[in-house]
């Protein structure tokens, strides 16, 4: 693109940086219009208690129903959105839609919780707590304890004292907090002590090689005992096979999420999935063995 570069002179090509900035601006503009046009949708992935053999709830996961590119996963657009205030608006929509959906499921007689991922930038927005309070008031049938917010462990560690206050304010309302992708952010014991959370979700990279890698096994064992000391619930993410689930149960982690249990699905499929859900027979081998 020809562009005026100083008086009376034209530059034929922008610098590489100019073009990058321009491409990012264009992408962000597309993200904003997608938000306006309702192109973002939520899919839901079940979380189960293997020992109890029951569904606990679902995690809301955003996708972009792109008119020409199809269904895009968050990795394709969230990293850019997270560097812009637009993430706050996206997050508010996600929360409101997830609460609408939860209210509908509760009315239909399903006993579920919903987990919603929140970006660090959302929690740092000064209006966050008030907005959450209003959204809960608009969903009077949803007990706040049915909502869980997930923040990446790595993001929480960047601003422990700021996060502490906002997490506390949400928990006062009765909302649960989870540290997501736990184990990747190298949280030390003292940090965990300072972050008032209810749940840790073990990152899926540790689960993937749980059966073949003794270091991953040791890390998961460590996280589970840490969780017990702090009286936190612990969830294994990325459970792809019954063996992963059985190993987690052996280590004292009863809650699991993963493709081996269910892939994320559109809201309309959740009720049917819950009705058909059968605990894996292999889980029951461990269900009767106390680990205390």
Interacting residue ranges for ligand C2E, rule: CB under 6 A: 45, 61-62, 73-75, 78, 91, 94, 117-119, 150, 180-181, 204, 237-240, 257-259, 264
Q: Which is nearer to ligand C2E, 57 or 238 (CB)?
A: 238
User: With 0-12 CB in 10 A as exposed, 13-18 as middle and 19+ as buried, what is 229?
Assistant: exposed
CB of residue 45 vs ligand C2E: minimum separation in angstroms?
6
Q: Give the span between the Cα atoms of 52 and 136, in whole angstroms.
A: 29
User: Which of 92-100, 179-187, 223-231, 250-258 is the region at the interface with Mg ion (rule: CB under 5 A)?
Assistant: 179-187
Q: Pick from Mg ion, ligand C2E, none: which does 249 bind, CB < 5 to 8 A by kind?
A: none
CB of residue 75 vs ligand C2E: minimum separation in angstroms?
6
Q: Pick from Mg ion, ligand C2E, none: which does 61 bind, CB < 5 to 8 A by kind?
A: ligand C2E
Angle (nearest 5°) at CA 203 between 242 and 151: 130
Following CA atoms 110, 250, 202, 229 in sequence, which dihedral angle do they give, to the nearest 10 degrees?
100
Q: Which is nearer to ligand C2E, 14 or 65 (CB)?
A: 65
Applying CB under 5 A, the site for Mg ion has a residue count of 5
Exactly one of 117, 122, 255, 257 binds Mg ion (CB under 5 A); which one?
Answer: 117
Q: Do 182 and 176 form a contact (C-beta atoms < 8 A)?
A: no
238 conformational bin, left if phi > 0, alpha if psi -120 to 50, beta if neither: left
Q: Does 181 bind Mg ion (CB under 5 A)?
A: yes
CB of residue 120 vs ligand C2E: minimum separation in angstroms?
9
CB of residue 267 vs ligand C2E: minimum separation in angstroms?
14
- Positions in 122-151 near Mg ion (CB under 5 A): 150
Q: Pick from Mg ion, ligand C2E, none: which does 251 bind, CB < 5 to 8 A by kind?
A: none
CB of residue 221 vs ligand C2E: minimum separation in angstroms?
20
- Positions in 29-88 near Mg ion (CB under 5 A): none
Q: Which is nearer to ligand C2E, 40 or 105 (CB)?
A: 40
CB of residue 11 vs ligand C2E: minimum separation in angstroms?
39
CB of residue 17 vs ligand C2E: minimum separation in angstroms?
28
Q: Do 206 and 183 form a contact (C-beta atoms < 8 A)?
A: yes
Q: Which is nearer to ligand C2E, 245 or 279 (CB)?
A: 245
Q: Which is nearer to Mg ion, 266 or 272 (CB)?
A: 266
């Amino acid at each position: 693109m020809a562009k005026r570069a100083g008086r009376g002179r034209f530059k034929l090509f922008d610098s590489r940086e100019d073009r990058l900035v321009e491409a990012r601006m264009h992408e962000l503009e597309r993200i904003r219009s997608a938000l306006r046009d309702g192109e973002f949708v939520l899919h839901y992935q079940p979380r189960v208690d293997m020992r109890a053999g029951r569904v606990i709830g679902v995690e809301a996961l955003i996708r972009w129903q792109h008119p020409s590119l199809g269904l895009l996963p968050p990795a394709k657009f969230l990293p850019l959105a997270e560097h812009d205030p637009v993430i706050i608006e996206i997050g508010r929509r996600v929360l409101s839609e997830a609460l609408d959906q939860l209210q509908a499921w509760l009315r239909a007689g399903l006993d579920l919780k919903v987990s919603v991922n929140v970006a660090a930038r959302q929690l740092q927005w000064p209006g966050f707590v008030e907005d959450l309070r209003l959204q809960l008031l608009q969903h009077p049938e949803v007990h706040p304890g049915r909502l869980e917010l997930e923040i990446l462990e790595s993001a929480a560690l960047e601003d422990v004292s700021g996060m502490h206050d906002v997490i506390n304010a949400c928990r006062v309302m009765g909302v649960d907090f989870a540290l997501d992708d736990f184990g990747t952010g190298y949280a030390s014991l003292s940090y965990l002590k300072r972050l008032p959370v209810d749940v840790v979700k073990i990152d899926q990279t540790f689960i993937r090689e749980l059966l073949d890698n003794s270091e991953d096994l040791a890390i998961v064992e460590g996280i589970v005992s840490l969780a017990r000391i702090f009286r936190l619930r612990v969830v294994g993410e990325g459970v792809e096979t019954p063996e992963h689930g059985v190993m987690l149960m052996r280590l004292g982690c009863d809650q699991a999420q993963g493709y081996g249990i269910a892939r994320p699905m559109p809201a309309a499929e959740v009720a049917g999935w819950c009705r058909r859900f059968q605990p894996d027979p292999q889980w029951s081998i461990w269900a009767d063995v106390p680990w205390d």
